[in-house]
Structure 1
Amino acid sequence: MSLKRKIKNTFSWLAKPFKGLPKPSAETLLIAAVLTFNFIVTLSIRLIPLKYGPYLNEFDPYFQYYQAQWIVDRGWGGFIDWFTQPVNKLFWYPTGRDIPSNAYPGVPFVGAFVYLILKGLGINLPMMYVVGFIPAFSAAITTVLLYFIGKELHSKTAGLIASFFFAVSAATLPRTSYGFFDDDSISQIYIALFILSFLKTIKGNTRIWPFIGGIALGLIVMTWGAFIYVLNLFALTIIIFVVFRRINNDIMKSYLISMTIALIFALIVPRARGYLPSAQMLLVYLAYVAIFAELYLSKILKRITPLRLTVYLASVIGGSIGIAYLLERLGYFHGIVGKFLIVINPFYKSQNPWLESVAEHYATSWAQFFLNFNLMFIMLPFGIYLITKRASNMDIFMIITALTSLHATAATNRLFMLSVQPATIVGAIALASIISSYATIFRPPKEYLERRRARLFKGIPTNYGAILLIVLILITIFTSTAAQTNPLRAASIPQSIISTETGSVTYDWIATFEWIKNNLPQNAVIASWWDYGYWITVNTGRITLADNANFNYTKIYLLARALISDENTSLNILKKFGASYVLVYEGMYNAGGYLIPIGGDLEKSYWMLRIGYNYTDQQVRQWYLNTTTITIGNQQVALTLPVGPKAKDVVLYKMLFLNIPNKRQIYPSILNQINMPAPTYFTLVYQSPNGSVLIFKILYPEKIGNT
């Protein structure tokens, strides 16, 4: 027996389960190979931060990790216990935080579920690793779903292009890389699944897809506050279909099933339930009314004159507004507020210093759009034009999705995670159409192709345009020198907890957490600016006054005052909160051998002054902070310095500019000229290895002076 036959007989059992199945075509195998490649690329790029250690990235993921660990500590029953947990006094001391009422359970539920499943299979990974991997896998799975969306809307080529560009998108990389265990990264799968399910139901597949869509919507409701946008997008689409007479029974069935499931989820989640009686949900309810009108009133309305119909519609709309206004005055209905108002009215943020101070709420520039979407941003207008020409129901849904999500992203740059999927899909349709057109023009005669095609490749499709283009774009993207557009460079930035503002690695925060755990009592109350609250509490188990949840503006306002006022005012506020220590942070930047403060509490003090005392920009710069430019070598460096007439009274500046040996020896001379007095009632007890993090113990006098 030949060696070839022996090998065939040895492994023949592997083929038995697949006997009788249709043989996949060459095209199917090629598509599977490309999707596998996209999946691996997505995962590989997003796992690069793991080389720096198993640290989570940014701030909110640490709170999500804390909740997931809380559930796991209680086993499978922790999923139920989450809804009835008591007020947690570690956060927002002394009042504490009622987590079920102002947090979403979706992200920690996923983390705890995956951990418990892996543990049941005998895979014992630390929780930090488990939750760190989840965002990368979420993005990788989404690339596969985008292929099917592109295929439904246009073609397999469009699906492959959309899948690839999502894989290397700069818009998703920072928030889907290892460690970014947060709401928008996990929600990418759910958003893609909802879009796919709705497209399927528009095509008439209503047996199971409306239920899948409803579950996807429900998971978004459990996970991300942006569920308000997704539900309203769905409702707006239905209303437009009704108004323009494009509605049918399949679409109505889809909305009634999917939206009802989503609202059931909203009733279960306390924080989401609070939005149900609000103007944010008005379109959702109007869509139900529109479907009712279509089903039961359309025949009656045909017999009514246009004038009477206009009067009836005006009465219904006016009556609805009147009832909503009355319910709002009685406290049963809420208007549009906060971050949701920013999306509708981008100028609202300028009226609120706290909202304006958060970088995620900044408006998006054209340059940011291009850097995040790359080639897809150029293709986007052409894609919208093409699907507008076809104007099928699926096309109209995608147009509404693309335009509304882009508007939201323009208002606040955090929402790139909402617009990246529709922008990529619509851009991919344009690119696929261009490829198809050129392939048709330049395709040689079939007879010529058959003669020249090698026997080895017989049966493989001749149109390699999409794959060739992907390869060329791949080379272009990965050889780009700009960190914003090069996925490898963008993903190679260390996690924020171990990096400086310029991207270099420093372990000052890690050393600080170790010192706190080993030296401060368990009941120590640490005051700091809200940015660091999650890091401190989750990594040390110590009590903090505020954190990134930012649900209590009054507390933020008082905390700002405590940091940027004189010592008497600060002591009065901190004593009211029961604080025993103050932590301050000063980021450093090495410019030509000089350490320059950047990005820390010194720069944030501008917003503390705006928030705490409602000062205008002019007042802050006149009384506290001045910006000056110095030359270091050939480099111009802008410095914000506390040199105003009131700056020497500010307790934060006294802490940051405390005369610490060796700390400011290589500062520019202009910084050494700032003779800031030392604080009287705050004594330094800890300085991190590089001097970035300082901890002061509060020495309360027997009697604090009046403010």
Structure 2
Amino acid sequence: MAKVDADGNDTSAESEAKFQPSLLQKLLRLLLSFVSASLKFLILAGSCLWAYRIRQISVQKYGYLIHEFDPWFNTRATKYLAKHGWHAFFHWYDYMSWYPLGRPIGTTIYPGMQILSVWIWQFLKLFPKKTVDMPGRDLIPANWLPMLPGHGQLSMGPMSVNDVCVMVPAWLASVATFSIFLLTWEVSESSGAAVCAALVMSIIPAHLMRSMTGEFDNECVAMAAFCTAFWLWCRSIRHSSSWPWALPAALAYASAVATWGGYIFVNNLIALHAAVLVGLGKYGTGLYRAYSIWYVLGSACATLVPVVGLMPIRSIEQMPSMAVFMGFQVLELCDLWRKRRPMSGLRFFFFRVSVFVTIGVVTCAVCWVLLQFNYFSPWSSRIRGLFLKHRKTGNPLVDSVAEHQAANEQAYDMYLSTPRYFACAGLFFCWHQRTPAKIFPVLFAAVAYHFSLKMSRLIIICGPIVSILAGYPLGIVFDWCIEQCKRLVCGPLPSLPEEDLPKRTGGMGSIYRLLNKIVKPVTYTDELRSVEDVMGHFAFRLPLLDRITRLALASLILSTAWREMQDPWEKFVSLCYQHADSLAGPGLAYEARLRNGQTIIVDDYYQGYKWIERNTPSDSRVLAWWDYGYQITGIAKRTSVADGNTWNHEHIATIGRILSNPVKKAHNIMKHLADYVLVWAGERETDLRISAHFARIGNSVFPDICGPADPTCSKYAAYPSPTPMMRASFVYNAVKHNLVDGVRLDPKLFKEVHTTKHGLMRIYQ
């Protein structure tokens, strides 16, 4: 039978010997390949552009506004780095947050996003402010221009740090899309699959969820760094001579480390892949060099990130990658010993087992001693959440956050949509490639799915692998169909030489060869062999009829796919735009429709913070629920009592106690910490809706709030009607002040100084 690889290339030695293409056929194939490659390039470029354009909805509606909570801290840190430089940034102790304690920023932040943004900001300053037409703009149809950035006009020149921070997610989304193209091409050996994967990645909601313009959070940069690191790792093991690619792979990993704490995922996935390759009998000098270089250089660079430090050699979470590294050293030493003292395969097998057992016992003893001295860092609360049931991490702050809850089917349908079904089919296309990287997508999918089941936030890491696997069935089949068109007029494409690893004895390769001898006669029966021989004979004796039959089958597949795929694709694109529209809201502002049908932008929250900036002394201290601390320091530029970082549970519990305590009791504590207090109120009643967390978190440290018999604070509730404890609380009285009969803050204790236009924020002195 004429065998075909991922791109439709004929690998049958019989057909290759039968057919020798003429010069004209070679030129024609070259021309058709150029047309096909050009089409794929245009789709890839369009995908990268689409990734950028769909994320512009936020800027188009709300302008250059940073979103939500954490991005305000990241933007403030970026501005600090741009203004004060590297040395001050990495020694920055912030006295404007966590009053009166303050918080060290330079040694607790993942600085990669800030460094990249400042580099971009400095680079743009090199150019004068100028608008130029894109090359060939006059040749582009007028109805296509709105799809291009600036309608085909590029604006160059300086941008403010704020505007750069707003735009970085969209720019890096295009980079991530291109990285997915490279990674998919590497693992699938199919350029068609790579293009399809990039097309899906550009708009899939799992990627949109953290990369809309203004969503200046770690994940928006980390996805590009992760995908680049994965591509370079897979490239480094393509052949035994590809190991130098491990050098840029290590640097890409280091950039991922500097960007997001989720680098643990990259660290362990690459280690798992390397270990599985050994288990599959694929170990060789090339793999040894690639992994050793990646681990040593990557870990060394990781230690330069202050927040990471010596974690690569002390953190339990990173011990698996170290164990794989040590295992590789033992394997290589055993091979070197065998070269000096030749031995049979069986003897070498037992020799290596004895070496591993001995070293394993010694390692366990050393680890036990180190454990007694508390050498190893404990599991972080978020990592524990991946292996324990929800609400049992031990940290009520982590357990109270919605994105740390387990994902469900609705979440997968919302963020992965139709491509996840194609991804399931794509798993069956991962086994026929020549590259050792072919198993990587399977491992990626298994690990990402497991972790996302535990924590909905990690659905974001499912976006890349679902895009990759969704591209497999679409792109590989498309490439095969296109190859049949070329084959009709140009003949079969000669097969490419395949690198065979030397047959090693005394290892997993020997075991698999033995199993193959036993299993192959059972699975590859005489009947199957006869069918294969008949098909191969048909292609050999009647090549023209074989090509016509292939072309007819390819045409049937393409026409059926075109007909059946249009509706699912249109629904998927529509869903992506719906999500992009819903994710475009910055949290500080939203669209509202008046009774007369007019649409307005309600920006009460943003204007409330700006009022504080304009109307309060610069050294004022502002108390609010910890979620709003980043906005107090970032927008209002005032000292906050706490912010979105969870480093001090007791401090946040104190705020929970203040807000849930009766008014007088709350004032007795509050007057020592703050000059102003704000609540989110209005028709949304945000603080009342989340007020149960105030009491629960406060009660975890101060059990007198609800009592030890009521750890969930069931007697503290605002809906359907406020309980007596809720009615007496400060937060209820601050939200409902002068809005409900009998609800009024004591004017001797609090003075209402500002309520925003639509009443969504109320500020008291």
The answer to whether residue 618 in structure 2 is matched with residue 612 in structure 1 is: no
Matches of 2:406 and 2:425 in 1, distance apart?
A: 24
Matches of 2:43 and 2:573 in 1, distance apart?
A: 26
Aligned mate of 2:728, from 622, 627, 649 = 649
Aligned mate of 1:233, from 269, 272, 297 = 269
Provide the residue aligned with 1:7 in structure 2.
Answer: none
Superposed, which structure 2 residues align to 1:15-94 within 5 Å?
25-51=34-60, 52-74=62-84, 78-85=85-92, 87-94=93-100
Provide the residue aligned with 1:99 in structure 2.
Answer: 105
The answer to whether residue 450 in structure 2 is matched with residue 383 in structure 1 is: no
Aligned mate of 1:580, from 643, 668, 675 = 675
SS in 2 for 1:271: coil
Q: Which moved more, 1:262-271 or 1:220-229?
A: 262-271
Q: Compute the displacement of 1:188 (Å).
A: 1.9
Q: Which moved more, 1:175-184 or 1:235-244?
A: 235-244
Q: Does the C-alpha gap of structure 1 residues 562 and 216 become closer, same or farther in structure 2, counting only changes over 3 Å?
A: same
Matches of 1:556 and 1:515 in 2, distance apart?
A: 25
Q: Does the C-alpha gap of structure 1 residues 481 and 239 become closer, same or farther in structure 2, counting only changes over 3 Å?
A: closer
Q: Compute the displacement of 1:240 (Å).
A: 2.5
The answer to whether residue 273 in structure 2 is matched with residue 273 in structure 1 is: no
Provide the residue aligned with 1:602 in structure 2.
Answer: 688
Q: Does the C-alpha gap of structure 1 residues 325 and 360 become closer, same or farther in structure 2, counting only changes over 3 Å?
A: farther
Matches of 1:474 and 1:79 in 2, distance apart?
A: 52
Provide the residue aligned with 1:248 in structure 2.
Answer: 284
Q: Compute the displacement of 1:37 (Å).
A: 1.2
Q: Compute the displacement of 1:264 (Å).
A: 2.0
Matches of 2:185 and 2:433 in 1, distance apart?
A: 16
Provide the residue aligned with 2:495 in structure 1.
Answer: none
Question: Contact 1:524–1:543 at 8 Å: present in 2 too?
Answer: yes
Deviations along 1:416-436, one digit per CA (max 9) or x if unpaired, are 222211221122113334546
Q: Compute the displacement of 1:220 (Å).
A: 0.5
Aligned mate of 1:291, from 315, 328, 333 = 328
Q: Compute the displacement of 1:685 (Å).
A: 1.4
SS in 1 for 2:677: strand
| Residue identity in the other structure for 1:343 | L
The answer to whether residue 196 in structure 2 is matched with residue 161 in structure 1 is: yes
SS in 1 for 2:252: helix
Q: Compute the displacement of 1:35 (Å).
A: 1.2
Deviations along 1:80-108, one digit per CA (max 9) or x if unpaired, are 432233x1101212111111221111011
Deviations along 1:564-586, one digit per CA (max 9) or x if unpaired, are 1123543344345x311111112
Question: Contact 2:225–2:256 at 8 Å: present in 1 too?
Answer: yes
Let me know the Cα RMSD of the aligned residues: 3.4
- Structure with more relative contact order (C-alpha pairs < 8 Å, separation 6 or more): 2
Q: Compute the displacement of 1:510 (Å).
A: 2.1
Matches of 1:508 and 1:482 in 2, distance apart?
A: 30
Provide the residue aligned with 2:5 in structure 1.
Answer: none
Matches of 2:564 and 2:381 in 1, distance apart?
A: 44
| Residue identity in the other structure for 1:296 | L
Question: Contact 2:682–2:735 at 8 Å: present in 1 too?
Answer: no
Question: Contact 2:99–2:641 at 8 Å: present in 1 too?
Answer: yes
Question: Contact 1:153–1:394 at 8 Å: present in 2 too?
Answer: yes
| Residue identity in the other structure for 1:101 | T
Q: Compute the displacement of 1:448 (Å).
A: 14
TM-score (norm 2): 0.75
Q: Compute the displacement of 1:267 (Å).
A: 1.4
Matches of 1:366 and 1:236 in 2, distance apart?
A: 27
| Residue identity in the other structure for 2:298 | A
Q: Compute the displacement of 1:265 (Å).
A: 2.2
Matches of 1:374 and 1:127 in 2, distance apart?
A: 35
Q: Does the C-alpha gap of structure 1 residues 171 and 473 become closer, same or farther in structure 2, counting only changes over 3 Å?
A: farther
Aligned-residue sequence identity (percent) comes to: 20
Question: Contact 2:57–2:581 at 8 Å: present in 1 too?
Answer: no
Provide the residue aligned with 1:218 in structure 2.
Answer: 254
Q: Which runs of 5+ in 2 are unaligned?
A: 1-29, 129-156, 492-553, 594-598, 701-705
Matches of 1:658 and 1:171 in 2, distance apart?
A: 41
SS in 1 for 2:277: helix
Aligned mate of 1:505, from 598, 601, 605 = 601
Matches of 2:573 and 2:185 in 1, distance apart?
A: 33
Aligned mate of 2:715, from 623, 630, 634 = 623
Matches of 1:511 and 1:73 in 2, distance apart?
A: 25
Question: Contact 1:222–1:265 at 8 Å: present in 2 too?
Answer: no
Matches of 1:587 and 1:486 in 2, distance apart?
A: 27
Matches of 1:525 and 1:464 in 2, distance apart?
A: 71
Matches of 2:165 and 2:283 in 1, distance apart?
A: 42
Q: Does the C-alpha gap of structure 1 residues 35 and 622 become closer, same or farther in structure 2, counting only changes over 3 Å?
A: closer
Matches of 1:42 and 1:617 in 2, distance apart?
A: 52
Superposed, which structure 2 residues align to 1:256-655 within 5 Å?
256-273=292-309, 275-276=311-312, 277-298=314-335, 299=337, 313=356, 316-317=359-360, 319-347=362-390, 349=392, 351-388=394-431, 393-435=436-478, 446=488, 476-477=568-569, 486=578, 489-490=581-582, 493-499=584-590, 505-576=601-672, 578-586=673-681, 588-589=683-684, 597=685, 600-614=686-700, 620=712, 622-625=714-717, 627-628=719-720, 641=721, 643-655=722-734
Matches of 1:340 and 1:185 in 2, distance apart?
A: 21
Provide the residue aligned with 2:138 in structure 1.
Answer: none
Q: Compute the displacement of 1:194 (Å).
A: 1.2
Matches of 2:719 and 2:329 in 1, distance apart?
A: 61
Q: Does the C-alpha gap of structure 1 residues 524 and 626 become closer, same or farther in structure 2, counting only changes over 3 Å?
A: closer
The answer to whether residue 745 in structure 2 is matched with residue 678 in structure 1 is: yes
Matches of 1:136 and 1:471 in 2, distance apart?
A: 33
SS in 2 for 1:172: helix
Provide the residue aligned with 2:184 in structure 1.
Answer: 150
Matches of 2:396 and 2:65 in 1, distance apart?
A: 31
SS in 2 for 1:695: strand
Provide the residue aligned with 1:6 in structure 2.
Answer: none
| Residue identity in the other structure for 1:609 | A
Q: Which runs of 5+ in 1 are unaligned?
A: 1-21, 450-461, 590-596, 629-640, 661-671, 698-707
Q: Does the C-alpha gap of structure 1 residues 439 and 621 become closer, same or farther in structure 2, counting only changes over 3 Å?
A: farther
Question: Contact 2:243–2:289 at 8 Å: present in 1 too?
Answer: no
Matches of 1:574 and 1:467 in 2, distance apart?
A: 71
SS in 2 for 1:685: strand
Question: Contact 1:89–1:95 at 8 Å: present in 2 too?
Answer: yes
Provide the residue aligned with 2:147 in structure 1.
Answer: none
SS in 2 for 1:284: helix
SS in 1 for 2:324: helix
Q: Does the C-alpha gap of structure 1 residues 620 and 294 become closer, same or farther in structure 2, counting only changes over 3 Å?
A: closer
Q: Does the C-alpha gap of structure 1 residues 568 and 330 become closer, same or farther in structure 2, counting only changes over 3 Å?
A: farther
Deviations along 1:352-373, one digit per CA (max 9) or x if unpaired, are 4321211221211122112212
Matches of 1:479 and 1:375 in 2, distance apart?
A: 9
The answer to whether residue 187 in structure 2 is matched with residue 180 in structure 1 is: no
Question: Contact 1:349–1:355 at 8 Å: present in 2 too?
Answer: no
TM-score (norm 1): 0.80
SS in 2 for 1:194: helix
Q: Does the C-alpha gap of structure 1 residues 321 and 696 become closer, same or farther in structure 2, counting only changes over 3 Å?
A: farther
Provide the residue aligned with 2:540 in structure 1.
Answer: none
Matches of 1:144 and 1:33 in 2, distance apart?
A: 13
Q: Does the C-alpha gap of structure 1 residues 448 and 109 become closer, same or farther in structure 2, counting only changes over 3 Å?
A: closer
Question: Contact 1:374–1:485 at 8 Å: present in 2 too?
Answer: no
Question: Contact 2:208–2:580 at 8 Å: present in 1 too?
Answer: no
Provide the residue aligned with 1:14 in structure 2.
Answer: none
| Residue identity in the other structure for 1:50 | V
Matches of 1:471 and 1:41 in 2, distance apart?
A: 24
Provide the residue aligned with 1:19 in structure 2.
Answer: none
Counting matched residue pairs gives 623
